[in-house]
Structure 1
């Protein structure tokens, strides 16, 4: 490991010497671009040595130095690739710097019109905000950017995956109207697709759950609307669950609410998101915990 790190440092120094020699008078006349290319390659070799030594920050810096030179040489695609490589390394050591590198790559890909790749890296940024930074609002923004890029390229399935993430987190932040609008949009887009039709009821169920966190009357009206648009929803266990929950809420019967939840959960386990929403609704009845 130490040998690899030392080799990486040697390659960095060699790259810097190449750059210094490329700035002389004669070099400016003869072959300076060749020396810049050599330096860029040396920085990549150094980065790979640092990766082997698990010196992630050093590897990220070396890839960034190569990216700057690739831009200088006019090789935008290679520059973007090196910024992505830098982001991958920095993710293990400095999430903020990883995001900065990925944003530089996104900027280049966007300028090149490579919107699908740009969207992919916006998703990577969102995932860093989710898992490393635990900054949900910024994760939402990144997923929204990704969805916009995917939509522009008619990659509607990928766009919907990003939008569902936005809806999920918006609901957690109690931005229910935003969440409802997205779940309804995605649900309707699935209705006429034979492969995705089964998913539509799940999105309408989640939209109704958001309604239920706000107001039972709105939830009842939403359920009725979803049944009219998508009859299969009315036959689903999720729809029957919602109606039973609304009945318990209207009767202010916390025990009935809890029993309904337990009966459903014994057959189909709730995911964490649904459990969170149910806990919020439960507190509106009695202020008690669901469990």
Structure 2
């Protein structure tokens, strides 16, 4: 690893020397452009050597140098790729700098009209904010932007994948109407596809739970609407559970509400998202009971 780092430093020094010699009047006469290309190659070699040595910040910085030179030469695609490579290195050491590099790549790709690639990298930025920087609001912004670009390119499956992540977090942040709108939209488009319609019951289930967090009457009306649009939903265990929960909600029966959930969970395990949403509804019942 020490050898790899030393080699990286050597390539870096050579790249900077090439770059200096390409500048100025005589450098231009003696083929400044070709020397700049050689400098780019040396920066990339330096970056790869630093990667081998696990010197992620140094590797990211070297890729950035290559990206800037590519951009000056008018090689936008190569510049974008180099900024992405830089971002992937910084992800291991400096998540915010990784975001900065990938955002530069996104700017290049959108300028080129490469919106599918830009969408993919917006997802990468969202994942960094989601897991490394832990800024869910910013993560949602980038997931939504990715979905927007995917939709524009008719990549609806990819767009929906992003939107479902947005909906999940929106519900956790108590932005229930936003979550409902997304779940209903994805469910409505799913029932039109023979391959995807089976998943619609899950999206309607999630939408109905979000409705319950707002208002039980709206939730009842929503379930009726879902059954009309997708008759198979009526026989689904998810629909039966919602109806039982709504009944206990109307009766302000906290114990009954809990028993219904436990009975369902004993057969089909409810994940953390469902548990958190149902807990919020249960607390509403308890709060209403205390006020009576």
Task: Calculate the TM-score normalised by the size of structure 1.
Answer: 0.97
Aligned residue in 2 for 1:177: 177
Aligned residue in 1 for 2:156: 156
Unaligned runs of at least 5 residues, structure 2: 288-292
Distance 1:174 1:226 in 2: 22
Distance 1:66 1:194 in 2: 48
Aligned residue in 2 for 1:168: 168
Distance 1:216 1:24 in 2: 74
Matched length: 287
How far is 1:6 from its partner? 1.2
Counting only pairs closer than 5 Å after superposition, residues 89-238 of structure 1 correspond to structure 2 as: 89-238=89-238
Aligned residue in 1 for 2:57: 57
* Deviation digits for residues 125-179 of structure 1 (CA, Å, limit 9, x no counterpart): 1000110011110010000100010001000000000011111111111011111
* Deviation digits for residues 186-231 of structure 1 (CA, Å, limit 9, x no counterpart): 0000001010000111111100010011111111011011011111
Aligned residue in 2 for 1:71: 71
Aligned residue in 1 for 2:9: 9
Distance 1:144 1:29 in 2: 49
Distance 2:24 2:246 in 1: 79
Runs of 4+ off more than 6 Å: none
* Deviation digits for residues 84-104 of structure 1 (CA, Å, limit 9, x no counterpart): 000100000000000011111
Secondary structure class of the residue paired with 1:46 = helix
Secondary structure class of the residue paired with 1:286 = helix
How far is 1:30 from its partner? 2.7
Secondary structure class of the residue paired with 2:154 = coil
Distance 1:68 1:104 in 2: 10
* Deviation digits for residues 224-246 of structure 1 (CA, Å, limit 9, x no counterpart): 11011111111110000001111
Distance 1:149 1:71 in 2: 24
How far is 1:27 from its partner? 1.4
RMSD over aligned Cα, in angstroms? Answer: 0.8
Secondary structure class of the residue paired with 2:170 = helix
Secondary structure class of the residue paired with 2:160 = helix
Asked if 1:282 is matched to 2:282, the reply is: yes
Distance 1:25 1:44 in 2: 26
Task: Calculate the TM-score normalised by the size of structure 2.
Answer: 0.97
